[in-house]
Amino acid sequence: MSLPPLASGPDGPHALRPLLGTVLDALEDGARARGGPLPAGGPEAVAARLRDAVGDVLPAKGAPDAVRTVVRALAEGAADPADPLCAAHLHCPPLAVAAAADLAASALNPSLDSWDQAPAASALEALVTRALAQEAGAADSLVTTGGTESNQLALLLAREILGRVRLVCGAGAHHSLRRATWLLGLPEPVVVPAPDGILHAKALDAALTGLSGPLLVAATAGTTDAGLIDPLPEIADVCAAHGARLHIDAAYGGGLLFSDLHRTRLAGLERADTLTLDLHKLGWQPVAAGLLAVRDPGDLHTLRHRADYLNADDDTDAGLPDLLGRSLRTTRRPDILKIAVTLKSLGRSGLGTLVDHVCAHAQEFAGLVRAHPAFELYAPPTISTVLFRPAAAPDDTVAAVRRTLLHDGRAVLGRARLGGRLWLKATLLNPHTRPGDLAALLNLVEGSTPR
Ligand SMILES: *Cc1c(COP(=O)(O)O)cnc(C)c1O
C-alpha cells in the first residue's frame, strides 16, 4: 500500500492540485445545496444531516472520498458570510486571495516558535507586524488569535509592568476584558455606566477620581453590539491626568485605518499603550488574524522566555532570532502570510474601498429602516452595524423573529440589548452586498414578525 502524499516539497503541489479541484467542487456543491445564508431546519436537523454525510468518523479502513463528502457536508451546513443575508456577527466573508494564501500556510506549515521552523515566515512576520503597528501609530505588534487573546495580553503586559492593575472600562466594553481579569487574577474591574453605549470622558474621570493603585483603562473603538467609538482623545487626556495606562480595543473599528474617508474617526488611537486589532473583522481575513500593538516595544520584554530547544542563549548569541517572546503560544501558524498577501495585493486603497462600501451599506440600511413605518432604528450607524427592531414589538417577539429566521435558514441577524430593550443587529461586513439585498433583509424580518 502506498503512503498518502505530502503537501510540501517539490512534489507537494502536484499531489495537492487534484485534491484542490475536489475541495473546490465540494464547496460549490455544498453552497448550492444550502441555497441560503444558513442551513435550514435548526440545530437538530443540521446535526443529523452532518452525521449521515460523515458516517463513521474513524473507520477501520480509510474512505478515499472523505475530502469530498466531509467538505461538501460542511459547506452545505455552513453559515455563509458571503451571503448578504448573513449579517449577525463580526464574522466577515474572507477574501479569495487571503484564503488562497492561507492554503500556502497549511502546505508549508511554518511554525513561528523558532527560526529553524520558519526562516522566511518569521522575517515576514517581523516586517508586517511592525508596518501594521506603525499604521496605527504604535511601534510593534504581536500576532494573536483575535481580539480576545489581544485583550488578555494587554492586561498581562499591564500587570507585569505596573503590578496588580485594576481594569476600568465602559459597560459596552468586550466581555473578554472582564474574563481576562479573572484569568490573570486581577481585582474585580470597575465598569463605568455607559447608558448610550459610549464611555464618556466625564464619567471615566469621575470613576478614576475615587480609585488608587495601578489602573488600566480600556476604551473601545467599535463596540461589538453597536459599533460605537469612544471619544479616544478625551479618554487619553483623562488617563494622562490620572496616570492610568490606556488600552484601546479596536478589534472592530481598527479597520477604519485603511479608509481615507473614515480613518480620522480613530484620532487618538496613537495614544494607546496597547491596542487590539483584528483583521478577521474589518480586514476580510479567514480566522485567525488578530494583533496586539504596543507603543513602547520595551513592554514586550516581559514576555521573554527561554526553552533550550527553541532559543538557547548560545543560539541567540550566534544570531538566530528569538521568537518565543512574540507569543504565549509555542507552535504557531503563520497567520501573517494571508495578511501580508492581502495588504500587498489590495493596497491601502483596495482595503479602504471595502471599508467604505460596508459603511455605506450600513447608512443605506439605516435609511430603509427609518423610512419604514413598521420599524424603529436605534441610532444612525457609526461603522457598519445597524440596530433596529419591529416597532412596538415586545422583546420576546424580537428574539423570536431572529430565531425563526435562523431556523428557516433565511437570514442570520444578531441581537443586542441596549437602552433596556432588545434590538436586532445587522453587522454588515460584505462589500458585495447590493441595495436590493438590504431591502430583502428588511422584508424578511417584516414577513416573520407576527402582528
Ligand atoms: C470581536 C471583538 C473582540 C474579540 O475578538 P475575537 O477575535 O472574537 O477573539 C474583542 N473586542 C471587540 C470590541 C470585538 O468586537
Whole-model pTM: value is 0.98
For the chain, what are the domain ranges? 99-345
Q: Which residue has its alpha carbon closest to ligand 1 atom 7?
A: 146
Is the Cβ–Cβ distance between 7 and 106 less than 8 Å?
yes
Express the helix, strand and coil content of the chain in percent, nearest 5 each.
Answer: 50, 15, 35
DSSP code per residue over 356-401: HHHHHHHHHHHHHHHH-TTEEE-S--SSSEEEEEETT--HHHHHHH
Atom of ligand 1 nearest to the CA of 287: 7
pLDDT at 199: 98
If you measure from the C-alpha of residue 152 to the centroid of ligand 1, how many angstroms do you get, rounded to a whole number?
A: 11
Asked if pLDDT for residue 416 goes beyond 90, the answer is yes
Task: Identify the residue whose C-alpha is closest to ligand 1 atom 5.
Answer: 147
Residues 171 and 79: their CA atoms lie apart, in Å, by 29
Q: How far is the CA of 145 from the centre of ligand 1 (A)?
A: 10
Residue 315: the pLDDT is 97
Strand extents, DSSP E, 15-131? 86-87
Per-residue pLDDT at 1 exceeds 70:
no
Supply the pLDDT for residue 451.
79
DSSP structure string for 300-353: GGGG----HHHH-HHHHHTT----GGG-S-SS---THHHHHHHHHHHHHHHHHH
Q: Is residue 436's pLDDT more than 90?
A: yes
Q: Using the mean position of ligand 1's atoms as its centre, give its distance from the Cα of residue 174 in Å.
A: 7
Q: What is the pLDDT of residues 117-170, one digit of tens each?
A: 999 999 999 999 999 999 999 999 999 999 999 999 999 999 999 999 999 999
How far is the C-alpha of 385 from the C-alpha of 255, rounded, in Å? Answer: 14
Tell me the per-residue pLDDT of 382-415, one tens digit each, with 9 for 90 and over: 999 999 999 989 999 999 999 999 999 999 999 9
Mean of the per-residue pLDDT values for the chain?
97
Closest atom of ligand 1 to CA, residue 250: 13
Residue 251 CA to ligand 1 center (angstroms) comes to 5
Report CA(79)–ligand 1 centroid distance (Å): 19
Residue nearest to atom 15 of ligand 1 (CA): 224
Ligand 1 centroid–CA 285 distance in Å is: 14
Instruction: Indicate the CATH number for domain 99-345.
Output: 3.40.640.10
φ, ψ (nearest 5 deg) of residue 37: -70, -25
Find the 267 Cα to ligand 1 centroid distance in Å.
20
Ligand 1 atom 3 nearest Cα: 147
pLDDT for position 119 = 98
| pLDDT tens sequence across 30-59 | 999 999 999 999 999 999 999 999 999 999
Distance CA 161, CA 153 (A): 12
Reported as a single tens digit per residue, the pLDDT across 278-304 is: 999 999 999 999 999 999 999 999 999
Which residues, 6+ apart, have CB-to-CB distance to 200 below 8 Å? 194, 230, 231
Which residue owns the Cα nearest ligand 1 atom 10?
147
Ligand 1 centroid – CA 304 distance (Å): 26
Q: Which residues line ligand 1 (CB under 6 A)?
A: 90, 146-148, 151, 174, 176, 220, 222, 224, 249, 251-252, 278, 290
Q: Which atom of ligand 1 is nearest to the CA of 173?
A: 13
Decide if pLDDT at 210 tops 90.
no
Atom of ligand 1 nearest to the CA of 290: 7
Query: Which of 230, 276, 429 has the most ligand 1 atoms within 8 A of CB, as the residue to mutate?
Result: 276
